[in-house]
Amino acid sequence: MNNNQSLTGKVIAATPELSGFDADTVITSETAAAFKNNGYAFCARYLSLGAGQNPGDLSNAEAAGILQSGLALVAVQHVNAYGWQPTAALGITHGSNAASNAQSIGLPQGMNLWCDLEGVATGTAAQQVIDYCSAWYNAVYEAGYVPGLYVGPLAVLTGQQLYDLPFQHYWKSASHVPDVPVRGYQLIQGLTATVLGIGIDPDTTQDDAEGGAVLWVVG
């Protein structure tokens, strides 16, 4: 990690019933402060799929501003275009990029990085998805981060198959998706809304059935 890019913050477990949001829009420090003043506790922003952060995705400066506002920060990687084909090799590539991009931003080890599982091509075998997710998990875990899985529409896997993955942190989308048996979800997404002029998906924290919680960074 480039020490000049390290963020001032610490990783903690989220408490339940906190309101936050995810957004595919740069959140300025002023906007973050406004969300904080409107009762929001956290913000989720994006890591790029490729090597190196794309313009418009999370940067060190944006992350610092979010943390300084008092919002906790969550990092989730973009998903491929709908109709994509998961493979183990792609999981290694995307997971490695998620970790290296997080490092380039200065995100501390020990926090969740989230894989966005949705939009898989119709007819894809479950084993391909399992191989992708497991490879993504391993690449992120080996870099010192804690992998999480966002479960969106067209994820292919059943609830049991999701639970059988190595993940211990799950985020439920606003779409109709399977329950994860035994464990359940730690983040629950609501329907898209516009707040303070920004398009967001609202999210709420909860402890899962095994007492697990989101691991995020706070300033």
26 in Cβ contact with 56 (< 8 Å)? yes
What is residue 6's predicted lDDT score, i.e. its pLDDT? 81
The pLDDT of residue 2: 38
Q: Which residues of the chain are modeled with pLDDT < 70?
A: 1-4
For residue range 43-63, list pLDDT tens digits in order. Answer: 999 999 999 999 999 999 999
Residue 3: per-residue pLDDT: 39
